[in-house]
Structure 1
Amino acid sequence: MKKIKNIYILGLVIIIGLFSSCFKDTTIMDLMEIEGVVIDTTGMTDFSVYQFEHLIVEPNLNTSLTEENLSFEWRINLEPGDTIYETIGTERNLNFEVDFKPNVSGKKHQLLYTVTDENTGLDYIMAWPLTVKNNIGEGLVIAETSDGITTDISHIMSPQVTADYSQVSVKHHVYSSINGNRIPGLIKQMRFGNIYGVDALIGITDNSVVRINTLDYTFAGENDDLFFTSTQNYQPQALGVSVQADIYIGNGKLTSTYMGASKKFGLPFDADYSVPDHVAINPFNYYPLPVRVSFYDEEIEKFIYIPSLSSWGDRNFYETPGVTGGVFNPSNLENKINLVSGVSTEGDFRHLLKDTFTGEIGLYVLTGGVDNYPEALIPPAPKAFYDMSNAPGINEATEFVFMDNQKVLYYATSTKIYAMLYSSDSPVFEERYTVPAGEEITTLQVYTQADYPFRAEGGDSPYLETNNKQLILSTYGSEGKVYLLPLVNTGVGNIDDSNIKVFTGFDRITAITTQL
C-alpha cells in the first residue's frame, strides 16, 4: 500500500513538472505590440455611382503609422459576382471614372481597398458593394470617327437638350468604353425609338444597320438580326418615322413596321419604284392630311405618293397626276436628283431637287392631298416652285435643313450657314452664321426632341422651350465640336449669337440625333 502511494506521488510530481516546463517566464522579456491600421467605415456601408461619373471615396484611417510607410490599392471586379479584379487606383483616396455597364437589379460590383504596411507586409482590407447606375438620359447622341473607317458614340446632356437638367455632361466614347470596340463603318444617320418595350438607337452605315440599347449602350444586333427576312447585300439609305410607323429605306425599297409592337422590321413594300435617300414622310396625325409619303423617283422622273403606311390602309404607290399650266409638272420633271425632303405642319410636301445637267437647284412644293371620303382621295398637287439659282453659296452647299413650322430653309457650305425665306413669291437669301477659322461644317439639323411631334397637348409633358427653336451644328478642325444655335425672330431664321453653346473634344462627327 505504501509502494502504491509513493508511485502516485511520483506521478503527480512528473505532471506538475511537465506543466511547469510549458509556461514561459516573461517578466524579463521586451514586449512589442504591432501597430495596425483601422479603416473607419462609418457612413460608408455601400456606394453607388452613375455610369461615366467619378466615384470618389475618401476613407478615414485610424493609425499612428506615417503615410510614407503605407501603400494603397483600389480594385474592382469586372462583372458583378466575378472573381477577376482590376486595379483602378493606388492613392489613399479614390477618384475613378466608372465606365462599367449599369447593374441589373440586385447585382453589384465589389470595391476592394487594401492598405499595406510596407515595414511588416501586413495588409488591411475593406470591401464595399458598388451599384453602377445609368445616367445617359435625354440629350444628344453623337456619332464620330477618329480613323474614317469605324464609328464611336458619345453623348451630351445640357439644359438646352435635356428636360429637368441644370448641369452639363459630356461623355466621350461611350460605345467603345462599354463594348470594347467601335462600330464598323461610318454611321450616317441615327434614330431613337422604342423597340418592343426597349429604348434603342438604330444607326445606318453604307452597308449595315446597327441597334444599340440605350439603357447601357450595348450592341444589340446588326443587319439580319434586325429583320424578319435576311438580305444578301444591305444598302441602307435612310430612317424615318410616322404615326405608328418606323421606316427603313434600303436597296431602293421602303419598309414600314410599328416597332412598338415588333422586335424586327418586316418586309418592304412591294412596288416597282425606286425609293431615294430623301423622302418626305408626314409625321402629323390630324385631319385633313391623308397622304403619308411623297418622293421624287429619279429613275422614272416623276413624283410618287403613298396614302397610308398602316396595314389596314391603302399602302399602294401612286404616280402624282400631271398638270398643264401649273408651277411645275410632277409627272414630267426630268434629270433631277434629291437633296432634301420634308413636310410642313400645314401638310405641304417640300422637295429640294438639283438638275443633273445644269446644276440648278429648286424647291418644289406639293399639297398634302385631300381626304375626299367616301370618294377617292384627291392626290397631292403642285403648289409652288422657288428658283435657287442665284442663292449665295448654293453651288457649294452640302447640308440642307427645313423648318417644318416656318417657311425657312437653311443650307450650309463648308464654312457658312444661309437662310432661304420663302413666305412670298420671291425668296430671300441671307447669310446667318460663319464658323470660326480653321473649322468646317460636317452636319446641320434642326433640334427636335426624340418623340416630336407625337406628344399630346395637355396629356404629356410639354416639349422643351428649345424644341424646334435651335440648330444643331457640328464642325471639325483640330477637333470635333457641337454647336447649339438658338433661333430668334420666327419666319426670319435669325441666330442668337450671344447665346450659342459649344461642346468640344470630339473626333470628326458624322451624325447626330436626340434621345429620351
Structure 2
Amino acid sequence: MIMKKYILYVLLIFLNMNFFTACFDDKSTDPDHPIPDIVIDTIGIPGAFRVTQNERLTIRPKVRRDNGDTSDLSYKWMLNTVATTTQATGANYSNYVCIGESEVLDTIIFLAPNEITYFLWFQVTDNKTQYRRDILWKVLVQSAYNEGILIANTKDGRTTDFSLIEGQQFTEGWTGADKITHNLYSNANGNTMDGLVKQICHSYNSVTKSKRFYCIGNDFYTLVDGLEYKLVGRDFEVIYDNTLSMKPEQIFFSSTGYIVWVNDGNMYPFNKGIARDYPNIQIPMGYAVQEGETQKIKTSKIDKYVAYTHQSGNSKSAWGVWYDKAEGRFLCQKGYPYVKKSIETFVSDPQKAFDPNNLPGLETVYAAIGVNGDFYMIMKNTTTGVYQVYVIERTTSSAKYLYNIPGNEMDQAIGYVVSEDGNVIYFATSTQIYAIVLGGVSPQVNLLYTISSGEITHFSMFRQAWYLINPMTYVSGAGYKVPIDTHENLLLTGVWDGNNGTLYTIPIVSASGGSIDQNNIKTYSGFGKILTVVSQQ
C-alpha cells in the first residue's frame, strides 16, 4: 500500500511539472520570437593595448543587434587591478573595478606599471533577458619614464629629490628632443627624501617584474620603487637586523642576481632571483690563514670599497676584491656573494708585481674593475703619501701590475672612474678633470679639462643599466646585446655654482689614450646640487 502511494505522488509531481512548463510561453525558442543577437564589432581595434600610467585610453567598439534596436542594452567596462598572466575566473573577479558604463570607453589608466598584463573586460547585457556578450583585452601598463639617467640632487642641502634625463645620449632608440623631468621622488611621495643620497644601485627582478633603487647616505638606507619612485621603506623598515649600526659605505649589483650592501666594513648580500628585497646578515666575515702548521680563522673588515665584477661568479675566479686594513692584505670572494665561506686570501708569489698578503700601511681610495675585467685597487700609502694602483687579474686571482702615480693632484680628488675599455683612470678635483694613463714605462697624469666656474660635486662614467646588471644579455635572434655608442665613452660631471646644478657630459675620443672631445661637451641644467647619478633601465 505504501509503495502505491509513493508512485502516485511521483506521478502527480511529474504531471504538475509538465503543466507549469506547458503554461510558460518561452518565446526565446519560438521561431517567431527569437532574441536578437548582440554583435560587438572590434574591426580596427587591437587585441591588446600598451598604455602609459595615467594616460587616457579610448576604445570605440560598435555594438549592434540583429533587429537594430539597442535601447535595452547596458554596458560595463571592468578592469582588474592585479596584473596576471591568466584571464580571471571564479574568485578572481573580485579584483575587477568598473571604469565605464557606456558603449565607448574613455578613461585614465591609473594602474601601477607592470611588465605583466592587466585585463580589460567589456560586458554588453540585454536588460530584459539578461543575455550577455563579453570581450577581454590585455592591457600592459608601462612607466611614463624610459631608460635614462637618474640624477639625485638637493636644493636645501638636507634632503634629496630625483630628476630624470631621457635623450639620445642615454636612451636607446630615442629620436626626439632631450627630456628632463624634475621632482620625481617628491611628486610621488609628497615630500623630498630626508638626508643626502651618496650612491644609488638600480636593479631589475625578473621574478617579480619589479625595478628598485637602493639608496644610501652616510647614515641611512632607503629602498625606492623603480617604476613610480615611491618609497618602499627606510632603514630598519627594510632591513632585518635592527641592531646594526647604520654606516653605509657602498651598494652595488654584482654577479647575476646579487645586490651587495657594504655597511660598517661588512657585506650584506641578497639574491634578487628569489624575490627578496632585504639584505641578509653576513657577519663575521671569516677566512682561513695558514700560519706555519696551524690554520687560523680571522675576521675581515672591508676598507671602504669592494672592486666587483659585473660577470656571473664561479668557484675558480673572484667576483670581488677588497683591502683589509687591520691585516694589511687584499682578500677576495669566489663563487657568489651569498656564500660566506668562499672568502679567501691570495697566493703569494715572489715572481709577481707585489705580495697581496703583505701590504701594511695602505688605505683604500677607490676600487673598481677595469680593462679585461681585472680588479683595480687605488690605494694611498699612509706613510709616504704616494698613490698606487694595484691590479689583480680576475681569471687567475693573482697580482698583475703595480703602478706608482706621480704628483699630488689626487690629494684633492672628489671622484674616480676606472675605464673598462682602456688602461686609464680618470679623476676629478673640485675644478679639474685628469686622466692617468697606465702603461708604458710609467703612468702619466694628464689634465683634460678645467671648469670655468663653480665646483665639481659628482664624477662618474655613463654605463647602461642593463649592462651593469648583466653584460651578457642575450636577445633571441640578434645575439648578445650591444650597448649604445655613449656607453663607456661619456664622463658625467655634476657642477654646482652656489645656486644651480649642471650636468656636463664629456665625450671620450680615445679609450686607451684618455683624451676627450671638448668641442662636443654638452650641458643639462636646472638641477639642485648634484649628489650622484645612476642609469635606469
* Contact kept in structure 1, 2:150 and 2:533, CA below 8 Å: yes
Paired residue for 2:306? 279
The reply on whether 1:502 has 2:520 as its aligned counterpart is no
Q: Distance in 1 between matches of 2:111 and 2:506?
A: 33
Q: Map 1:115-514; keep pairs closer than 5 Å.
A: 134-166=143-175, 167-195=177-205, 196-244=208-256, 245-263=258-276, 264-271=278-285, 272-285=299-312, 290-309=317-336, 315-324=341-350, 326-370=352-396, 380-390=397-407, 393-436=409-452, 438-452=453-467, 453-456=471-474, 458-459=478-479, 461-477=481-497, 478-514=499-535
Q: Mapping of 1:48-127 within 5 angstroms?
A: none
Question: Bigger CA drift: 267-276 or 233-242?
Answer: 267-276
Task: Tell me by how many angstroms 1:274 deviates.
Answer: 0.4
CA distance in 2, matches of 1:197, 1:52: 20
Call closer, same or farther: CA 1:347–1:140 in 2, change over 3 Å. closer
Question: Shift of the alpha carbon at 1:230?
Answer: 3.3
Gaps of 5+ in 2: 1-49, 56-96, 98-107, 121-140, 286-298
Deviation at 1:314, TM superposition (A): 7.5
Task: Give the Cα–Cα distance (whole angstroms) in 2 for the partners of residues 152 and 251 of structure 1.
Answer: 25
Residue 389 to residue 428, structure 1, CA distance change in 2 (3 Å)? closer
> Kindly tell me: are residues 208 and 442 of structure 1, through their superposed partners in 2, closer, same or farther at Cα, counting changes over 3 Å?
same
Query: TM-score, normalising length from structure 1?
Result: 0.70
Percent of aligned pairs with the same residue? Answer: 25
Over 3 Å counting, the alpha-carbon distance change for 1:275 and 1:286 in structure 2 is closer
Deviation of 1:406 (Å): 1.0
2:314·2:335 contact (CA, 8 Å) conserved in 1? no
How far does the alpha carbon of each residue in 1:418-443 deviate from its partner, in whole angstroms, 9 at most, with x for none?
Answer: 1111122311221111112x211111
User: C-alpha distance in 2, partners of 1:207/1:338?
Assistant: 20
**Cα distance per residue 1:242-291 (max 9 Å; x no partner):** 22221111121112222132322222254111012211112224999711
Shift of 1:310: 5.7
Q: Give distance in 1, aligned partners of 2:321 and 2:496.
A: 34
Decide whether the 8 Å contact of 1:309 with 1:315 is kept in 2.
no
1:441 alignment partner AA: I
Check 1:401–1:318 CA distance in 2 against 1; reply closer, same or farther (3 A cut): same
Query: Structure 1 residues 344, 285: CA separation in 2 closer, same or farther (over 3 Å shift)?
Result: farther
Is the alpha carbon distance of 1:507 and 1:253 closer, same or farther for their aligned partners in structure 2, counting shifts above 3 Å? Answer: same
CA distance in 2, matches of 1:417, 1:52: 42
Between 1:336-345 and 1:322-331, the stretch displaced more is 322-331
Decide which moves more: 255-264 or 478-487: 255-264
The superposition leaves residues 360-409 of structure 1 with CA deviations (integer Å, 9 ceiling, x where unpaired) of: 21111122253xxxxxxxxx322211111326x22222211100121010
Superimposed CA distance per residue, residues 139-177 of structure 1 (whole angstroms, 9 cap, x where no aligned partner): 111111122221111111111001111221111111112
Q: Distance in 2 between matches of 1:495 and 1:450?
A: 23
Q: Which residue of 2 aligns with 1:86?
A: none
Distance 2:143 2:313 in 1: 37
Q: In the aligned structure 2, how far is the partner of 1:497 from the partner of 1:317?
A: 44
State how far apart, in whole Å, the 2-side matches of 1:446 and 1:367 are: 22
> CA deviation digits over 1:101-148, x for unaligned, max 9?
9689799xxxxxxxxxxxxxxxxxxxxxxxx97321211111111222
Displacement after TM superposition at 1:410 (Å): 0.3
TM-score of the superposition, structure 2-length normalised? 0.67
Q: Distance in 2 between matches of 1:247 and 1:461?
A: 25
**What SS does the corresponding residue of 2:519 show, helix, strand or coil?**
helix
What is the CA distance between 1:476 and its match in structure 2?
A: 0.6
Q: RMSD over aligned Cα, in angstroms?
A: 3.0
Contact 1:52 1:171 in 2 (8 A): no
Does the CA-based 8 Å contact 1:194-1:260 persist in structure 2? Answer: no
Quote the Cα distance in structure 2 between the aligned partners of 1:479 and 1:101.
Answer: 35
**Structure 1, 457-466 or 190-199: larger mean CA deviation:** 457-466
Name the SS for the 2:237 alignment partner.
helix
Distance 1:464 1:442 in 2: 26
Q: Where do 5+ consecutive residues of structure 1 fail to align?
A: 1-47, 54-80, 82-97, 108-131, 371-379
CA contact (8 A) 2:52 2:143 kept: yes
- Please tell me whether Structure 1 or Structure 2 has the larger radius of gyration of its CA atoms: 1
What displacement does 1:459 show?
A: 3.7
Residues matched between the structures, number? 391
